[in-house]
Chains A and B, each alone.
Chain A
Amino acid sequence: MTTDTLAPPVTVTVPKIKSELMQQRVRAARWFLLPMLLALAVVAGWPLLRSIYFSFTDASLTDLYGAEWIGFGNYLRWTTLESGVTRYRGLLVDPAWWNAVWNTLRFAATSVFFEAILGMIVALVLNAEFRGRSIVRAAILIPWAIPTIVSAKMWSWMLNDQFGILNDLGLRLGLLSQKVAWTATAETAMQAVLIVDIWKTTPFMALLILAGLQMVPRDIYEAADLDGVHPVKQFFRITLPLVRPALMVAIIFRLLDALRIFDLIYVLTPNSTATKTMSVLARENLFDFDKFAYGSAMSTLLFLIIAVLTMLYIWLGKVRFDGGDR
């Protein structure tokens, strides 16, 4: 758009100068982009390729360079015993891995679902005009600003089985019949993680949806009011379709974030198989279990799974990030 306005020939002599200018700009642009692209290639491109490479070797943490190529062995290998029984081993038949995949998907879907609904409610509240609106907006920024590790610690103290304030509150209000060991029990560990994640990231969702809401012209609602359209119907017929693009982008950002979750689970529910996600399991194998190559295979597969899900989402949801060329 910006350069278009410069391009149309105004007089006969100008086009040549203009095109020279354009070329100069494009040349300059190349030099301007080079440092950034080099930096990204070094910190993202190369490490990604090396990680994928390691997943096809027998590398170990203590001996990265003595690694030998073993093909798909980390993913799947089999031996046929003398009795004729074939034994499969490797990542693709590892129940711990599929448990982590399932945990991650369950966590991502549930947390983003609740965040979208609660974020929509908060955004609708913030979009209304009332006294104290700025206080609410300031308040919801607090969970967003608190470091994840800190919020994990804060909540694990609040969720503490003996001295936690949430158990106390639950007992006082009659919501709980006895104290619950939230983070230690397999059934409630995932709920605990979900509560903290939803608390922390709903503000982000709300702010993105709010930005979409603010672009809806007010006179549409005035017209709908005049026609006597019920507010609930207004929401589903006017608001929702109009904020859909903003909502879809917000959801994919959150989804990508949720699929790679590591720190919250690492701190809140360490060593719980009920909440162990792909990232947590992969890091554990890479650095704690000294199965560097196996961990690399996990991180490679995680990358593939997330890439495929993202492309499916963008394709099915017809998501546009740029809002058109302006």
Chain B
Amino acid sequence: MGATIDLWKITKTVLFYALVVFIVVVSVFPFYYAILTSFKSGTDIFRITYWPVSFSFENYQAVFSQGSFPRNLLNSIFVASVTVILALFLAVTAAFALSRVRFRGRGFLLMVILAVSMFPQIAVLAGLFELVRAVRIGDWQMYNTPWALIFSYTIFTLPFTVWVLTTFMRDLPVEIEEAAIVDGASPWIIITRVFMPLMWPALVTTGLLAFIGAWNEFLFALTFTSSNDTRTVPVAIALLSGGSQYEIPWGIIMAASVIVTVPLVILVLIFQRKIVSGLTAGGVKG
């Protein structure tokens, strides 16, 4: 009797851990395999192995020496950083108004913001293209510059940051604000002196999530830039090709993929608790 119960318990534990191992392996394996491939050189790439057999930096050297990949990397960093800073700047005051002040039409406004953040980007592509082509100051034109991307990325980073910061701010207790109101502080002072110091963790999380969104964006980057040295990394990787049409440089593609992914994975793992709370604040509340 006791033995059968133990057996059942053991089986259950074994099955559970088998499931756990399966989840981990499936999640990690493609990235592991990309890293594995990126360190293979020459014809080794076409020998399928599950473990590292050879080790060479050839592909990484190729990524940095040929083509415009370093430039693309800088473009991506610049575009994503500026986009996030602008979005956060506009979002903090808006989130204060949406979370701490009661006015007519607030619920409607929140729904509009949510709707814009879930927008199919293709629906605005034609109009945005016209706008981006039309903006020119003197000899300078916006099309095919990082600014075209910073401008267009606002469509998804801004509503997202407003939405998440609003849910964060709504959770802050009233008391911290009351004292400032009694002292006659204006709303602007309340935001900069009372809320900002408390908001840093939320700003870092939201900024990081928006950064990842801007870093990964493809459709606008593909459409609003047209030359090798203005592209961002996702487009550069998508368009990487070898000498001929049939010769895809898999090793180089994998090396480039690893380079753009490793910083993200490290950031995500460091901030994982915050990211999970930010993601769920953006999605669900009850």
Count B interface residues, CB 8 Å. 99
Q: Evaluate contact between B284 and A249: CB separation under 8 angstroms.
A: yes
Instruction: Kindly report which residue of chain B lies nearest to residue A64, judged by CB atoms.
Output: B130
Given contacts A54-B126, A253-B118, A306-B120, contact A2 B188 (CB under 8 A): no
Q: A35 CA to B237 CA in the complex, in Å?
A: 35
B198 at the interface (CB under 8 A from A): no
Quick one: given A36-B94, A136-B20, A163-B48, are A211 and B123 in contact (CB under 8 Å)?
no
Please give the number of chain A residues whose Cβ is less than 8 angstroms from any Cβ of chain B in the complex. 109
A48 near B30 (CB under 8 angstroms)? no
Given contacts A211-B280, A262-B218, contact A139 B212 (CB under 8 A): no
Is B23 a contact of A140 with CB atoms below 8 Å?
Answer: yes
Q: How far is the CB of A200 from chain B (nearest CB, A)?
A: 9
Once the chains bind, are A4 and B102 in contact (CB under 8 Å)? yes
Specify which chain A residues have a CB less than 8 angstroms from the CB of B100 in the assembled complex: 2-3, 25
Question: A43 touching B154 by the CB < 8 A rule?
Answer: yes
Chain A positions within 8 Å of B41 at CB level: none
A138 and B23 contact, Cβ closer than 8 Å, known pairs A24-B187, A153-B257:
no
Measured between beta carbons, the chain B residues less than 8 angstroms from A152 are 238
A32 and B100 CA atoms in complex are apart in Å by 12
Judged by a CB distance under 8 angstroms, whether B69 is at the interface is no
User: Contacts A51-B125, A139-B24 given: A250-B283 contact, CB under 8 Å?
Assistant: yes
Task: Determine the residue in chain A with the shortest Cβ distance to B178.
Answer: A6
| Complexed CA–CA distance, A29 and B188 (Å) | 10
Instruction: Show 15 residue pairs from A and B whose CB-CB distance is below 8 angstroms, ordered by the A residue.
Output: A6-B178, A36-B162, A44-B116, A136-B20, A138-B272, A139-B28, A143-B31, A147-B264, A150-B237, A150-B257, A154-B31, A253-B283, A266-B218, A266-B238, A302-B120
* Interface residues of B, Cβ cutoff 8 Å to A: 16-17, 19-20, 23-24, 26-28, 30-31, 33-34, 37, 45-46, 48, 50, 90-91, 93-94, 96-103, 107, 109-111, 113-114, 116, 118-131, 133, 151-152, 154-155, 158-159, 162, 170, 174, 177-178, 181, 186-188, 212, 215-216, 218-219, 222-223, 233-235, 237-238, 250, 253-254, 257, 260-261, 264-265, 267-269, 272, 275-276, 279-280, 283-286
A positions within 8 Å CB-CB of B = 1-6, 21, 24-26, 28-30, 32-33, 35-37, 39-40, 42-44, 46-51, 53-54, 64, 121-122, 125, 128, 130, 132, 135-155, 157-158, 160, 162-165, 168, 199, 203-204, 207-208, 211-212, 215, 245-246, 249-250, 253, 256-257, 259-260, 262-263, 266-267, 278-279, 282-283, 286-287, 292, 295-296, 299-300, 302-303, 306, 310, 320-324, 326
